[in-house]
Structure 1
Amino acid sequence: MLKSLCRRRLLTVISRCSSVQFTGQKGPSVPLITSPPCNASRRHGRHQSFSVRTPSFDKVAETASVSDCGHNVKIAWDNGSESRFHAVWLRHHCPCQECYSTTVNQVLIDIDNLPLEIKATGVRITEKGRVQIDWDDDHTGEFASAFLRKYCYSHNSLAEKKTSIKTSLYKESSLPCVKWADCEADEKYVYRWLKDINEHGLAMVNEVPTTSNMLTEFIPKHLAPLLDNTYGKIYDVIVMEDPTNLAYTRTKLQFHMDLPYYESAPGIQFLHCLKFDDSLLGGETIFVDMFAVCEEFRHTSPTEFKTLCSVPCTFVRDHESRDEPIHLLIQRPIINLNNEEEVIGVFWNPGVVGVLEVPEDDVADYYRAYQLFARAISNFHTKNEVRLKPGDLVAFNNRRMAHSRNAFTYGSGERHFQGCYVNICEYKSRLVSLTKKYGDVSTIKRVGNMDWM
C-alpha cells in the first residue's frame, strides 16, 4: 500500500511539473503532458469541444486493463473513478506521428485500411503516468492521462459536459455595456463584450465614433472578418423612397432573425447608430431570446412544438429587379433539435416565408403551430427594448435572439443605422481564443449554430 501511495504521489508531481503546450489558433486548447515517444499532448488541437473543463492533473491513471476480448480498455483513476474506452475509439484517436500531424493538426490515419474489428492486445501505464496501448494491427500508441480524462464519454461525463454548455436562458432583461475606447486600449474589454454576448445574447459598445463605415475597422480588428451577403458587408438602415426591405421604411417590424434563407444564416449582427433625431417618436429596437421562447413553447404547446421541429418552413428571398438578381430559397424546420431533444437552432422570419410545400396532412397542423409560436414570441414575458442613440453599437446573436422595431411614423428627423454581420463560428473561435487567455473555456455556452454538442 505504501509503495502504491508513493507511486501515486510521484505521478501527481510529474504531471504537475511537466511542460504544457497550447496548439492551434482557433478553438480551445487544453494543456496535456508532453512526452517524446508519442505526441498525445499536442494531438488535442483537433478536438474542438469547448464545453469541457480544463482537466485536472491531479487525476492520473492508476491501473489499466483490456476487457471484452480486446474490444474495450478500462482505466481506473487515482480518485477511485473508472473509465471505459472502445479499442476502435482509441485507435482512431492515436496521437503518434504516424497517425497525426502536429505540424498541421490533421489526421493522417488511412481510415479505409484499418481493420473493421480492431482490438486492443495490451495496455500499460508508463512511468510518467501515460497510457500505452497495443492494437492487433501491430500498432502502438500512447495517450496522456489528461487527454483521456477530458474526453471520457461515459454517461455521467457527457451529462456533465452538456450541462456546462446549456444556453443561459433569459430570466430578466439585461444589456451589458463596454466603452469603445476601452476596447481599443485593452482586449480584456473585447473579451468581456464577447463573453456578454455569449451569456446574454446581446451586448452594447458605447461612445463609438459616429463615423460612417466605422464597423469596417472595428469589427475585423477585434473580432472577425465581415460576412458578405446579399446586402453587402456593410448596409445602411435608413428610410428610402424605393425600399427593397421593410427595414428601410418607418413601418413596425415583426420579430425576426436576419437572412434565414442562407444555409448558414449570419451569426453575430451589429447595428451602429450614426443618427437618431430626438424629434422622432418610436423606432426602438426590441429583442427576445428565441431559445427561451422555445423552451416555454415546448411546455405550453408540446404538440405544436413537435410540429415545428418536423415540418419544414420555406424561407425565400427573390430580387429579380436587381442588377445581379438573387434567388435564395431553403426548406427547414423552424426549431432544430439534437439527438437528446435539446434546441440547438432556431430560424424565424415571417417576412421572408415562402410558399409552404409539405404533404397535405401537415398543412393545418403546421399553420396552427406557426401562428401559436408567433403569439408566444410576441407575448413573451421577458424582452429587452432599447432606443439606440448616436454612438451606440449593439451586437446580438442572430442565431439566438430575434429582434423587432417599433414604428416611427410621428415626428420629423432622421434615423440612420449601419449594420454588418460576422459568421457565428468565427465569433466563437475568437471568444474561445480570448477565453483561454482571460477565463475558463468551460463557461462558454451554445451559440445556436446547430452544434450537437
Structure 2
Amino acid sequence: MSSAILKVEALDAERLVRIRWDDGEESLYPAVWLRDNCQCPRCYLDSAKARKLLIEALDVNTWVKNLTLLSQRKVHITWPDEHVSDFEADWLKKRCFSQKSRAKLQKELFLPALGFSIIYMDANKAIRNPYPHIGKSVARVPGLHRGAALFPLSTTPQNIVCMPCPSVQPPNASTSSLGCLREWEGKKSLCQWLIGARLRALVVSIIPPSLCKHMFLLFYRHTWQVQDKIDANNVAYTTGKLSFHTDYPALHHPPGVQFLHCIKQTATGGESEIVDGFNVCRQLKEQNSKAFQILSSTFVDFTDIGVDFCDFSVQSKHKIIEIDNKGQVIRINFNNSTRDTIFDIPVEKVQPFYAALKEFVNLMNHRENKFIFKMHPGDVITFDNWRLLHGRRSYEAGTEISRHLEGGYADWDVVMSRLRILKKIVKNGN
C-alpha cells in the first residue's frame, strides 16, 4: 500500500524534518541524513545502487532552506547551497527512524535466528612504502628489484615496503589475469612473501599462482576488472574520485588481503591513495575520544546490490572501527558508497555519528597521513584490507578504456593457513 504524507515541516532548531503520515504516525528525519542520501544523479549512482556523494563534500551541520510537499507523494528540499533533493514518500516511510520501524526493516533484511560470527586477526603496527623511489632519505635493500628501499619505522605513511620476489620478473602489463603470473620458485620464497604480506600492511610484489587458486570467489568473479564501464554496477567502475575505503564491508566477513594489478594507466589523473587506518584511529582516539567511541560502538548497515558474475543482494552490519576486548583496533569497515541509506539507530544519535565520521575522514585526508602514488603497467600491490584504506583520484573518460586494473581477494584464514604450513616445511628443510 502506497504511503501518503499529510504534512511535512522543517524543525530548524533541531535540524530535523518532521512528517505526518495518513496512517496517523509521525516520523523524524535528520537533515544531514537526508542530504547524505540524496537520490539525484550527482549524488547517487542508480546502476550500482550506491552513493556517489563523498563525506568530504557533506556539510554535517546542514539545514533545510526550503521544503515543499508534492501531491502527498514526494518531498522536495532545497539546501543552503541551492542543491535540490527529492524523496518519495514510500522511500521515506521505509526508512523511518522509530524503533518499531527499524526493527521491522531489520527483520526483513536479516534472519535474526541465524546470527553471524567474525574471526579476527591482529595486525602488525608498522607499514612501509610501496614506491620508495618517490621518497627521500631511504636505505637501500640489496636484492630487491626496481630500486626498492626501506624507510625508517614510524607511524607515518612513509612506512611501506617494496618487496618483490627477486627470483621472478614482474608480470606482463598486458596480461589480464592474475592467475597467469609466472610460477613462483620455491616454498621458501613463498613463505617469505606471505610473512611480508602479513607483517606489513602493503607490499608491491608478484603474486604466486599457488596463492591465486585460493582467491575469494565473489559476485564479481575470482578477479574483477576496474575500468570505466557503461551502466557501472560499482562506483569503482567509473572515472570519478574514490574516497578512502576498505573493500566489501557489505560482507559479514570482508576479504582480508587485496591484490591490484595495473594493466593500463591513464596519462592524467588516476593516482592511487592509501592511508593507515589504524594510525588514523589512534589519532582520532587521542584527539576526540567521543568520536572514537561512537565509531567503535555504532553498528552501520552496508549493502551491495546488482548483477555481475551472478545477481546479488548483500547486506551486513559493522562498526566502522572494530576493536577487541582489550580496546585494540583490529579492523576498519568503511566504504561510503555502500554504506546503506538504511540506518538502524535512534534519530537523536544520527547527527553525532555524522560529526564523528566527518572527523575520521578528515584525519584520513591529512597530508601527513596519506600516501599518493601512481601505478604503472605491470605493478601489482598487495595490502591488508582490514587495516589500509585506499582511494583513487579522478581521471578523464575517453573514447576507449584509458585505465585498467585487475583486482582479487584472499582470506586471511587461507593466507595464515598456508603460511603456517610453509614455515613448518621450511623449518624442516623439505
Question: TM-score category by the smaller chain?
Answer: 0.5 to 0.7
Aligned to 1:388: 375
Which residue in the other structure is 1:451 paired with? none
Letter in 2 for 1:390: P
SS at match of 1:396: strand
Is 1:332 aligned with 2:318? yes
Cross-structure match for 2:205: 205
Matched, 1:225 2:211: no
The reply on whether 1:397 has 2:387 as its aligned counterpart is no
2:339 is the counterpart of 1:353: yes
Cα offset for 1:322?
A: 6.3
Q: Distance in 1 between matches of 2:353 and 2:327?
A: 19
Distance 1:200 1:362 in 2: 36
The Cα RMSD (Å) is: 2.6
In structure 2, the CA distance between the partners of 1:300 and 1:438, relative to structure 1 (3 Å rule), is: farther
Larger-Rg structure: 1
Tell me which residue corresponds to 1:120.
none
Cα deviation 1:367-417 (Å, max 9, x = unaligned) = 111111111112262333232222111111111111001111288862211
Contact preservation (8 Å) 1:176, 1:196: no
Aligned to 2:254: 265
Q: Write the letter of the residue equivalent to 1:427.
A: V
1:417 aligns with 2:405: yes
Q: Which residue of the partner structure matches residue 138 of structure 1? A: none
- Structure 2 unaligned residues grouped into runs of 5+: 1-121, 128-154, 169-182
Distance of aligned partners of 1:324 and 1:178 in 2 relative to their CA distance in 1, 3 Å threshold: closer
Superposed CA deviations along residues 106-138 of structure 1, whole A, max 9, x for unmatched, are xxxxxxxxxxxxxxxxxxxxxxxxxxxxxxxxx
* TM-fit CA distance, 1:335: 1.0
Task: Note if contact 2:123-2:198 (Cα within 8 Å) is conserved in structure 1.
Answer: no
Deviations 1:162-196 (A, max 9, x none): xx975336432423121475372233333333222
Query: Residue 357 of structure 1 aligns to which amino acid in structure 2?
Result: D
Retained in 2: the 8 A contact 1:224–1:427? Answer: no
- Alpha-carbon spacing, 1:330–1:403, altered in 2? closer, same or farther (3 Å): same
Larger relative helix fraction: 1
List gaps (5 residues or longer) in structure 1: 1-163, 207-217, 440-453
Contact 1:281–1:410, Cα closer than 8 Å, also in 2: no
Q: 1:434 aligns with which of 422, 426, 429?
A: 422
> What is the aligned length?
262
Q: What is the TM-score of this pair, normalised by structure 1?
A: 0.53
Report if the CA contact (8 A) 1:223-1:427 is conserved.
no
Cα displacement string for residues 81-113 of structure 1 (whole angstroms, at most 9, x for unaligned residues): xxxxxxxxxxxxxxxxxxxxxxxxxxxxxxxxx
> Cα offset for 1:426?
0.7
Amino acid at match of 1:193: W
Distance 1:252 1:334 in 2: 21
CA 1:410/1:220 → structure 2, altered by over 3 Å: closer, same or farther?
closer
Percent identity over the alignment is 26
Shift of 1:309: 1.1
SS in 1 for 2:205: strand
Matched-pair contact (CA < 8 Å) for 1:273–1:393: yes
Q: Tell me which moved more, 185-194 or 231-240.
A: 185-194
Q: Helix, strand or coil: the match of 1:350?
A: coil
Q: SS at 1:317's partner residue?
A: strand
Q: How does 1:161-310 map to 2 (within 5 A)?
A: 167-168=125-126, 170-171=155-156, 172-179=158-165, 181-182=167-168, 184-205=184-205, 219-222=208-211, 225-276=214-265, 280-310=267-297
Q: Secondary structure at the match of 1:313?
A: strand
Secondary structure, in 3 states, of the residue corresponding to 1:184? coil
Give the match's secondary structure for 1:251: coil
Residue 363 of structure 2 is aligned to residue 363 of structure 1: no
Q: Distance in 1 between matches of 2:242 and 2:411?
A: 24
- SS, match of residue 178 in structure 1: coil
For the residue of structure 2 that corresponds to 1:351, the secondary structure is coil
